Amino acid sequence: MSVTIRPASASDAEHVASIERDADVLLTDSFGASEWPPAGDAVERIGGPGFVLLLEDPSDDSPAGFVHVLDADGHAHLEQLSVRPAVGRRGFGRLLVTAALDEARARGYTRVTLRTYADVPWNAPFYASCGFLESIPETAFQLRLVDTEAAIGIDRYGRRVQMTIEL
């Protein structure tokens, strides 16, 4: 079985939204969070600056995960990585990260940043295993992300960190 990773199109929007909702359940269950921000608008995600790659489950070709890399003021920022929990622990997240880094490199970016939970095993420890290192927000966009996380309350569930990988 081979995995297909391809650019998402507008017709994939419902799949992207559904994958994100399914994956968010892992966090809300882990945190015991009764309130969680809704998934982002998938149409805007796909049509916005940057790119979205979709992974299809090799067993039935159904969309199983996606990665969204946002172009934020000329910088690549891994905004979202989501894999359906039903197909988790098969390496799909790592394949998506690798594909995203390859695409970012091909587009001329020299590094990729992200924000995540420091102590959730499938967050910062996972990204560290992909080569990301903890870093300090430097750009106006990165500093706004810190403020946004506080405003929507997701920082109450654990320490948030920025991570960066040089390409």
Which residues share a beta bridge with 165? 112
Mean pLDDT of 135-147: 97
Pick the CATH number of 4-166 from 3.90.79.10, 3.40.50.150, 3.10.20.30, 3.40.630.30: 3.40.630.30
**Could you state, in order of their start, the residue ranges of all structural domains in the chain?**
4-166
Question: Given the DSSP bridges, would you call strands 4-7 and 50-56 parallel, antiparallel or unpaired?
Answer: antiparallel
Given pLDDT bands bounded at 50, 70 and 90, which one contains residue 26? confident
Question: Which pLDDT band holds residue 163 (cuts at 50, 70, 90)?
Answer: very high
Summarize the confidence of residues 47-54 as an average pLDDT: 97
Mean pLDDT across 71-94: 95
Q: Enumerate residues 6+ apart whose C-beta is below 8 A from 139.
A: 72, 73, 75
Q: Is the dihedral of CA 134, 138, 143, 144 positive or negative?
A: negative
pLDDT band at 61; cut points 50, 70, 90: confident
Average pLDDT, the chain: 94
pLDDT for 125 beyond 70: yes
Give the DSSP letter string of 103-123: HHHHTT-SEEEEEEESS-TTT
* 1 has pLDDT over 70: no
